[in-house]
Amino acid sequence: MTTIEETTRRLGTVGHRLTGPRRAVLDAVDAARGPFTVEELCEALPAVGRATVFRTMKLLQELEIVCRVPLEDGSVRYQLSHGGHHHHLICGECGTVSEFNDPKLDGLIHENAVSQRFRLASHSLELYGRCAACLSRS
């Protein structure tokens, strides 16, 4: 199933339509070659209002079509998500972001929360370093 088909299906399940402006945002997200900012989307879509781009990105994030990627410097980028709960490996050299999931790690996080009598609502984990491609160029 394509990103457009999946998004159309998910939008329908929560009572939304794939409008022209939402489609333009989704096409730009789908065409992105790597992590991007909402500002970059706004610049790439001058015919779509800023508020629409921001609202659409929020909706796509809620539907897990895109994921939020916090960078080491505090800035935030987004990318298409491969779905489900996952974590990120972020290369500080080339900017590549890879997703991974690890049920054992998630279990340890939950166990730590329980041991601290902490009710965990959610969590995210970003690991910063250098990817294999950048390491091989060194």
Same domain for 11 and 26, yes or no, is: yes
Give residue 82's Cα distance to chain centre: 9
- Residue 69, pLDDT > 80, answer yes
Same domain for 37 and 72, yes or no, is: yes
**Pairing relation of β-strands 66-70 and 76-80?**
antiparallel
pLDDT in tens, 88-110: 999 999 999 999 999 999 999 99
Beta partners for residue 137, in sequence order: none
The CATH number of the domain holding residue 55 is 1.10.10.10
- What Rg, from alpha-carbon coordinates, does the chain have? 17
Contact 37, 54 (CB under 8 A): no
pLDDT in tens, 77-93: 999 887 788 999 999 99
